[in-house]
Amino acid sequence: MANQGSEKERRHELVIVGAGPAGLTAGMYAKRAALDAVLLERGLPGGQLLNTELIDDYPGLPEVDGRELAERMTQHATKFGLLIETVTVKGIRKLEDGDFRVTTVEGPVYRSQAVILTAGGTPNRLEVPGEDEFLGKGVSYCAICDGAFFKGETIAVAGGGDAATEEAEFLTRYAERLYLIHRRDQLRAQKILQERVFTNPKIEIIWNTVVTEVLGDERGMNGLRLRNLLTGEEPRLDATGLFVFIGFRPNTGLLEDHAEHDAGGHLITDRDMRTSIPGLFAAGDVRAQLTRQITTAVGDATTALIAAEKYLTELKDQRAAGQATGT
C-alpha cells in the first residue's frame, strides 16, 4: 500500500502515469525490481488495446483479442504486487526539492522521486455518426494493426497529410481498392508521398469531400455517407473499412513544466527514455519515434524502468552523501 503523508497525499519512489501496454510493462518491471511504485490510470488498464478487436502481430500470440491481451498484461503486472489506482491525472510538476508532484481530478496527490509517463495519445476523430458504433468493426486508426484484416476488400482513408498518404499506400498491399478522402483540392503531404499515391493504380482520391456518417449493420461497416463541400452532394461510398488519419495528439499536456518535444508535441528522449526533465522518463506513444506499436511500447517501457531504477539508486546515494557531509 502507499505510504500516506496525509489523507490525500501519497508518497512513492516511482509514479507511472497511464496503464496501456507501456505502463503495465513498466509497472511489472518496477515490482520485479522491488521498487515502491504506483500505476495511475483513469479507466480500465489496457489503453488502446481495449479498442482493438483482434491483434495478430504480438510475438508469441498469433491471434489475441485486445481486451484479452490487456487483461493478461494487467494480471502479469499485479501478480508481482503492482498497485494500480483509478484516478485521472491532471498535472505533473517537478518541485524545487527534486521530487515530482502528481495531482488528480479526484483529489489524491502523489509525491515521487521519479515519474514514467506512459499516457499514450489520442487519434483525432471525425466525430460523425457510426464512428463509435463501428470502431473495431470497420473503423480503425492504425493501418499496421488492422490492415491485414481487409484483404481483397474496398476501404477508405480519411486525411491528406503525411500519415494519411503513407498509410494509404501501405494499405494497398491488402485492399483491392482504396479511396483517399480529402476535404481540400490538394494534399498536404510531402511531394514524394503525394507522387506515390498519384501513381498507385489501386488508389482513387475523392477531393473536396468529407465523411459525414459511417454506415453498417450487425455484421460491421458496409459503407460511408460523404458530402462534397463544393456541390453539396451526399453520395454513398461502398466500403468495408475506414482508416482515419487526421492527426494524433500525444497526452503530454499533463506536464506543467516545459519538456523538449517535437512539432507534434511528442516528448524527445535519449536512448534511455530520459526526457529533458531529470527524473522524468517517457515510453510508448507519448515519445517521438518512428512507429507506435505494442511491441515498441513494451520495449520503451522496459528501458525506461531500468533507467529509472538507476536514477533512483544514484539519487539515493547522492542524498546519503549529502546527509553524511551535512550539505
**Please, which pLDDT band fits residue 211 given cuts at 50, 70 and 90?**
very high
- pLDDT at residue 1 greater than cutoff 80: no
At 279, list the grid cell: 527524473
**Please, which pLDDT band fits residue 29 given cuts at 50, 70 and 90?**
very high
Q: Residue 15, exposed/middle/buried by CB under 10 A (0-12, 13-18, 19+)?
A: buried
At 229, list the grid cell: 463541400
311-315 contact pairs (CB < 8 A, 24+)? 311/114, 311/274, 311/278, 311/279, 311/281, 312/13, 312/14, 312/35, 312/113, 312/114, 315/98, 315/113, 315/114, 315/279
3-class state of residue 247 by DSSP: coil
Work out whether the CA dihedral 307, 309, 314, 319 comes out positive or negative: positive
Average pLDDT over residues 232-251: 95
| 255: Cα within 13 Å, side-chain hemisphere | 23
**DSSP-assigned letters across all residues of 99-121:** -EEEEETTS-EEEEEEEEE---E
How far is CA 161 from its chain centroid?
Answer: 19
pTM beyond 0.85: the answer is no
User: Phi first, then psi: what are they for 247, rounded to 5°?
Assistant: 120, 160
CA angle centred on 197, ends 55 and 199, rounded to 5°: 130
Are 187 and 215 in contact, with CB atoms under 8 Å apart?
Answer: no
In terms of pLDDT, which residue wins out, 227 or 319? 227
Average pLDDT over residues 131-138: 95
pLDDT in tens, 39-54: 999 999 999 888 776 7
pLDDT in tens, 265-307: 999 999 999 999 999 999 999 999 988 889 999 999 999 999 9
- pLDDT at residue 240 greater than cutoff 80: yes
**Please, which pLDDT band fits residue 325 given cuts at 50, 70 and 90?**
confident
- pLDDT at residue 220 greater than cutoff 60: yes
pLDDT in tens, 67-120: 999 999 999 999 999 999 999 999 999 999 999 999 999 999 999 999 999 999
Q: What is the pLDDT of residue 55?
A: 83
- Domains along the chain with CATH numbers: 3-122+248-325 (3.50.50.60), 139-244 (3.50.50.60)
Average pLDDT over residues 233-243: 98
Tell me the C-alpha distance between 311 and 327, whole Å: 20
Closest by CA to 161, choosing from 242, 246, 226, is 246
Average pLDDT over residues 10-19: 97
Work out whether the CA dihedral 246, 40, 282, 25 comes out positive or negative: negative
Alpha helices in 235-327 (DSSP H): 294-325
How far is CA 286 from its chain centroid?
Answer: 7
Q: What is the pLDDT of residue 262?
A: 94
- Cα 269 to Cα 109, 113, 278: the distances in Å are 26, 19, 11
Average pLDDT over residues 121-142: 94
Q: What is the DSSP letter of 5?
A: E
Q: What is the pLDDT of residue 327?
A: 61
Catalytically annotated residues: 142, 145-146
Tell me the C-alpha distance between 39 and 85, whole Å: 6
pLDDT in tens, 168-196: 999 999 999 999 999 999 999 999 999 99
Q: What is the pLDDT of residue 3?
A: 43
Q: What is the pLDDT of residue 145?
A: 82
- pLDDT at residue 6 greater than cutoff 80: no
Q: What is the pLDDT of residue 292?
A: 81
Q: What is the pLDDT of residue 115?
A: 98
At 105, list the grid cell: 481530478
- Calculate the average pLDDT of the chain: 93
Q: What is the pLDDT of residue 66?
A: 87
